[in-house]
Amino acid sequence: MAQLTHTPVMTVLQSLEQMSQTKEERLRALARERAVWDYNTDIITAREEGLEEGIQKGLEKGIQKGREQGREEGMKIFLRSMIETKFGQPLPDWVLSRLRAATPEQLQQWGVSLTQAQRLEDIFEG
């Protein structure tokens, strides 16, 4: 069995050993010591499992967020390309600024508006 170094546990174990004079008392003390060891091992294992689970969930959230950001960036690039195709290059700074700050919902709305737009301003109105 590995050495225990936690001060309160060591103090209790020393007290138990002093109180345990008979073979039966020593066996009970050993059983208690084993129970404390098992309990501490279970706590350590649970912490490690919880940490691993937390890391896994964090990774999954990070991957999901990265995918969402990638889709949003792709929508911005695609819409910019479509606007440039229809109205020519270079686009005015105000259009580029609107595209950079847009939400996915706005990008979708503007994409629909682009199909009917006669001027750049028509895309962003409404």
3-state secondary structure of 126: coil
Per-residue pLDDT tens over the stretch 55-96: 999 999 999 999 999 999 999 999 999 999 999 989 999 999
Task: Reply yes or no: is the peptide bond before residue 8 cis, omega within 30 of 0.
Answer: no
pTM of the model: 0.60
CA–chain centroid gap for 113, Å, is 36
Calculate the average pLDDT of the chain: 89
> Whole-angstrom Cα distance, residue 31 to residue 24?
11
Which stretches does DSSP call E strand in the chain? none
User: What are the tens digits of pLDDT across the range 13-50?
Assistant: 777 667 656 778 778 878 888 988 988 888 899 889 99
Count Cβ atoms below 10 Å from residue 46 Cβ, excluding itself.
10
6 or 78, greater pLDDT: 78
Contact 83, 95 (CB under 8 A): yes
